[in-house]
A and B are shown apart, each in its own frame.
Chain A
Amino acid sequence: MNTKETDFEVRSLDTMCLNESNLSHPWWYNFKYLAVGIVFGVVFVKAEIISWFRIQEMFRLQSFHMYGVIGTAVVVGTISVFLIKRFKVKTIHGEDITFSDKKFNMGQIYGGLLFGFGWAITGACPGPLFAQLGTGVLAISVVILSSIAGTWVYGRFRDKLPH
C-alpha cells in the first residue's frame, strides 16, 4: 500500500466526513446528532438488535429478525440516497450533500473477517455496545475499552499490515 497517502485518502477510508462545512456553527448545534442518536439507541433496544442472543440466532440461521432489520434498513437507505442524489437535496442549512466512493483494499477482507469474529463473540457491533452500556450492563465498558485498544493497535501497526 502506498504509505504516502494523503489525509484525504485516510479519511475517506474511514467513512469520515470529507466535506467540512464552511458554515461555523456553535458547538451546541451538535445536539441535533445527539437527538438522532437517542432515537437510534431506543430502536436498538426495543427491536432487540443489541441482544447477544439475536446475533447468535442470526449466525446460526435460527431467526430472520436481524436479516429483516438490516435488509429493510439497506432498502430504505438506498431509496433515500437515490432521492437525495436525484433531486439534489440540500441540508437544512442549505449546503450541498456530497458522497464519496469507497476504494477497495484487502483490509475490507482481512478486517471484515476479524470484525465478524468479534461480532459473533461479543454479540455486538460498535453501535450496540454503547446502547448496551446505556441499558446498564456495566461489563460492556470492558468490551468498549478493549475495542478502543484494538483500534489503537491497528493505527499503530497500520503500515505493517497488508492492505
Chain B
Amino acid sequence: METITQPWPWYVAGALIGLIVPALLLLGNKHFGISANLRHICAACIPSNVPFFKYDWKKESWNLFFIGGIFIGGFIAAHLLSSDAPIKIHPDLANELAGYGITDLSGMVPVQLFAIHEVFTVRGLIMMVGGGFLVGFGTRYAGGCTSGHAIMGLSNLQWPSLVATICFMIGGFVMANFILPYILAL
C-alpha cells in the first residue's frame, strides 16, 4: 500500500498511459483521445445549428464514459490513495512563484491562482477563463490534444501529429517563459 500511496515514477505512469492505447483498441476499436469530448458536449448541449456540432454524438458516448472514469479516478486517488508527503517542487520554480506571491504549493494546482473567487481578478480571469478557452479552441483547431496527437497519433506514426505535438511544446515554452511571468505579476 505504501508503494501505491507514494507518487508514482514516470516510467510506471508512462507505461500505464501507453497501455490505454491498446486497451481502448481491444475493448472496442476506440482511438484514444480526450479533447473530442468537448465537441461532443457542445453537440449534445449547445449545437445551435452549427454544422460542426450536427452529428450523432451518441455514437461517441463511450468517450464521455471514459472522461467520467477519469473524474472518478481523480476522486479515488485524491481521497483513498493519497500520501501526506508534500509535492516536491524545483527550487527555482518555487522562488519564481514566491515572487508573484504564490506561496501555497501544497495542492496539485496553486489554490492562490485557481479558486472560484479569483475569477473576479484580472489574473484569475486570464488564467482560468482565458486559459480554458485556449485549451478548448486550440485542441479542436489542431484536431486533438496531448492524448489524440502526442500519444495516439505518434503511436500510429502520423506525421501531422508530430507537427501538432511540436507546436504544443513551442506554444507552451513561449507562454511559460515569456508571457506567463507578466500574467502572474498582475
Q: A21-B29, A46-B8, A143-B131 are in contact. Are A107 and B155 (CB under 8 A)?
A: no
User: Which range contains the number of A residues in contact with the other chain?
Assistant: 35 or more
Query: With contacts A30-B65, A116-B175 known, what are 9 further pairs, Cβ within 8 A?
Result: A27-B61, A30-B61, A31-B65, A42-B73, A112-B167, A112-B168, A116-B173, A117-B171, A130-B67
Given contacts A37-B73, A63-B90, A127-B67, contact A115 B171 (CB under 8 A): yes
Residue from the list A30, A34, A53, A91 in contact with B25, Cβ < 8 A: A91
A142 touches B140 (CB 8 A): no
**A119 / chain B contacts, CB cutoff of 8 Å:** 135, 146, 168, 171-172, 175
A77-108 CB contacts (< 8 Å) to partner B? 77-78, 80-81, 83-84, 89, 91-93, 95-99, 101-105, 107-108
Ordered by A's residue number, 13 sampled pairs between the chains whose C-beta atoms are within 8 Å are A42-B74, A42-B81, A45-B77, A52-B113, A58-B172, A72-B13, A80-B25, A95-B28, A104-B163, A108-B149, A135-B77, A140-B109, A156-B48
Q: Is the CB of A122 within 8 A of B167?
A: no
- Residue B126 at the A interface, CB < 8 A? yes
CA distance A124 to B110 in the complex (A): 12
B141 → chain A closest CB, angstroms: 3
Task: Scan B112-152; emit 1 where CB is below 8 A from any A CB, else 0.
Answer: 01111011000000111111111111111111111111111
Q: Is A112's CB under 8 angstroms from B4's CB?
A: no
Min C-beta distance of A102 to chain B, whole Å: 4
CA distance A104 to B164 in the complex (A): 9
Taking CB atoms, residues of chain B closer than 8 Å to A118 are: 131-138
**B167 pairs with A113, CB closer than 8 A:** yes
> Do B116 and A142 touch across chains, with their CB atoms under 8 A apart?
yes
State the main secondary structure of chain B at its contact with A.
helix
Whether the Cβ atoms of A73 and B175 lie closer than 8 Å is no
**Are A146 and B116 within 8 A (Cβ)?**
no
A77-B151, A121-B131, A121-B183 as given contacts; A37 in contact with B68, CB under 8 Å: yes
Kindly list chain A residues whose C-beta atoms are within 8 Å of the C-beta of B176.
Answer: 55-56, 59-60, 120
Interface residues of B in 54-79 (CB under 8 A from A): 55, 59-63, 65-79
Q: Which B residues are closer than 8 A to A by beta carbons?
A: 4, 7-39, 41-42, 46, 48, 50, 52-53, 55, 59-63, 65-79, 81, 87, 89-90, 92-93, 105, 107-111, 113-116, 118-119, 126-161, 163-177, 179-180, 183
Give bound CA distance, A57 to B146, whole Å.
17
How close is A44's CB to chain B, nearest CB, in angstroms?
A: 7
Q: Residue A19 at the B interface, CB < 8 A?
A: yes
Q: How distant is B57 from chain A, measured CB to nearest CB, in Å?
A: 10
Residues of B within 8 A of A39 (CB): 16, 20, 69, 73
Cβ contacts under 8 Å, A70 to chain B:
14, 146, 150-151
Q: A62-B93, A146-B136, A152-B42 are in contact. Are A114 and B69 (CB under 8 A)?
A: no
The contact string, 1 if C-beta is below 8 Å from chain B, for chain A 138-155, is 111011111111111111
Min CB distance, B129 to chain A, in Å?
5
Other-chain residue from A127, A140, A150 in contact with B137 (beta carbon distance below 8 A): A150
